[in-house]
Structure 1
Amino acid sequence: MKIKKYNLNSKDIWNNFNKNAKNGLFMFDRNYMDYHSDRFMDNSLMFYEDEKLIALLPCNVVENILYSHQGLTFGGFIVNENMKQGKMLECFEVLKEYMKENNFKKLIYKSIPYIYHKIPAQEDLYALFRNNAKLFRRDIASVVDYGNMVRINSKKRNKINKSKKSGIDIVYSDKFRDFINLENEILSKYHNTKAVHTSDEMEYLKLSFSNNIHLYEARQSSQILAGVVVYEYDNVIHTQYMANSDEGRKIGALDLLIDFLINEKYTDRKYFDFGISTENGGQFLNHGLISQKEEFGGRGVIYDFYELCI
């Protein structure tokens, strides 16, 4: 087995493997990963056995630390249905040798949550354990399981029914400027930060992945009150961004929009992932944020982070 460092000449090979992988996702496509290539020093790896590609590992590097991957919600090994446990252990042995040869002192590894797997794909977690990797961070996401939905409480349902009488229109949009402006206004006011993506970046990504990235807005008299950007995967709908204006809060605009997405738009999926409600490396739980997600029936799924030292 050998490792090849990814380069542009391998773009189509990478993308084709990811497309057919048992845990491949559109955000591992090079057209997605490379839009912010100026922010990260890419060091993605391709694992070959007898000249046959058997695994991908999206990575970036900072000094002598390998990350998988700082520019993505999660990273980890991308493998197809032929990957078995013994072979994954071999991948880790070859990876450790590669890291030694290139003077990397450790790997920071963000595993893909199981709900994003097309078929079971947790061979990497056992290999991490066998190699004494340290679990150093856990984030908690809130997920609606369409096969076992939790009933929304009557108070929330009454609020949503009231919102339906407020003249709010749910609209689909491919223009992100109004939404990102609202998102940045809220993030600046309450969290002293801003959105990771600009409106231009989101519109570029939308053009590149028109079947996967969607913006839904709640508007009243053409004014945006709330919005949700969803990333659509085979089994999962993930809320990448959610924003609610002060006026939207008063009349339940975001609640109405989320109810539409969960109970009307995406009922054909397995899971609806609201994303994490933790900060400070998982040590701080935002109780207000997670309670809103739990009111819609979201329940806990873990996002794990590991440190593998060489």
Structure 2
Amino acid sequence: MYSIVKYDSSYRSVWNDFVARSKNGTFLFNRGFMEYHADRFEDYSLIVFKGTKIIALLPAHINNNELYSHWGLTYGGLVLDFKVKLPGVIEIVRAILNCLNSFEVRKIHIKTIPSIYHIAPAQEFEYALFLCKAKLTRRDTLSVIENEYAIKIAANRLEGVKKGQLNNFKVEESTDYHFFWNDVLLPNLQHKHNAKPVHSIEEIIQLKNKFPDTIKLFVVKDEKGIAAGTVIFETDTVAHAQYISGNNDKGKTGSLDFLYYELITKIYKDKKYIDFGTSNEAQGKKLNYGLNFWKESYGARTIVQDFYEVDTANYTLLDNVLI
């Protein structure tokens, strides 16, 4: 009933068209986004056909004969057509596992698409993974504001907002990625976490040029220049904070508090969700208390993103599920 085809560039257009009309895909699965790091991963994405119609995609790469949701993407999993139903997804997962097993790909590693990114309910894949005894290997927490049921912003955050107002800060969308990266983000990450951003300045500009309506840089400015900024990835349902950073004096000036107050109460007040992302380290087993505290003081609360590992030989466990 289903045929599984490995993606190649001849499918680029139909792949992107399917992502755009799927019920749980985002622009991260557009080939223009996925391929910015094509040199780092051996792509092994799969396309699922029912007859001549595409009904699902699995963005993935292969490493040491095991299949992975792309390490370069925040989330992965099965991207689904609006019309596909649970029994169909169970059969699709069986077909994918069987196909991979026949090619001696022994395991798949999945990082799921958080439910807030779904346009319509789309957790059929997670149920199918449970049926084939997928192992939960990691669970990250995401700090999320649901605007329809917004929780009051904490007093300590509002104090920072008042500082920002006294400093005559203004929030605006900016194209000055070089300054934000080199003078704000990189020094802050290096000083606080001895880390670098996932994207280089060249990569984020390349992605911004490809997706100008979904990748945006917002900054706080005064007469001295940029004091803080954040890069937002926009989807149909979510404004996701990909990067957040301020100058060393952000606590005194209130620059970061002022920036996010403006984003939450004005710029993205009509977006269904605002996702601050994870505060986890050590594969989900540690929580950065201070970072999580800052996010929750804006009214964000927790949802989880699960990571699974499953043996492809377990496709037989899906044989007699439907009764």
Same fold (TM over 0.5): yes
User: Hey, what's the Cα distance between the residues in 2 that align with 1:35 and 1:156?
Assistant: 37
**Which aligned pairs between 1:166-205 and structure 2 lie closer than 5 A?**
166-181=167-182, 182-205=184-207
Matching residue of 2:132 = 131
User: Hey, what's the Cα distance between the residues in 1 that align with 2:99 and 2:196?
Assistant: 37
Matching residue of 2:152 = 151
Q: Deviations over 1:42-69 (max 9, x none)?
A: 1000001112111000001111110012
**Which aligned pairs between 1:252-267 and structure 2 lie closer than 5 A?**
252-267=254-269
Q: Verify: 1:293 aligned to 2:295, yes or no.
A: yes
Residue 240 of structure 1 aligns to a residue in which SS? strand
Matching residue of 2:316 = none
User: Hey, what's the Cα distance between the residues in 2 that align with 1:308 and 1:83?
Assistant: 22
- CA positional deviation for 1:286: 0.4
| 8 Å CA contact 1:175, 1:203 repeated in 2 | no
User: Hey, what's the Cα distance between the residues in 2 that align with 1:281 and 1:162?
Assistant: 36
User: Hey, what's the Cα distance between the residues in 2 that align with 1:249 and 1:40?
Assistant: 40
Q: What is the root-mean-square deviation in Å for CA atoms of aligned residues? A: 1.0
Matching residue of 2:85 = 84
Matching residue of 1:38 = 39
Residue 267 of structure 1 aligns to a residue in which SS? coil
- CA positional deviation for 1:272: 0.4
State how many pairs are aligned.
Answer: 310
- CA positional deviation for 1:198: 1.4
Q: Which moved more, 1:241-250 or 1:21-30?
A: 241-250
Q: What is the TM-score of this pair, normalised by structure 1? A: 0.98
Residue 164 of structure 1 aligns to a residue in which SS? helix
- CA positional deviation for 1:264: 0.5
Same amino acid, percent of matched pairs:
38
Matching residue of 1:284 = 286
| 8 Å CA contact 1:174, 1:203 repeated in 2 | no
Unaligned runs of 5+ in 2: 313-323
Unaligned runs of 5+ in 1: none
**Which aligned pairs between 1:191-230 and structure 2 lie closer than 5 A?**
191-230=193-232
User: Hey, what's the Cα distance between the residues in 1 that align with 2:30 and 2:104?
Assistant: 27
- CA positional deviation for 1:104: 1.4
Matching residue of 2:242 = 240
- CA positional deviation for 1:249: 2.7
Q: Deviations over 1:256-285 (max 9, x none)?
A: 001110100011111100000001110000
Q: What is the TM-score of this pair, normalised by structure 2? A: 0.94
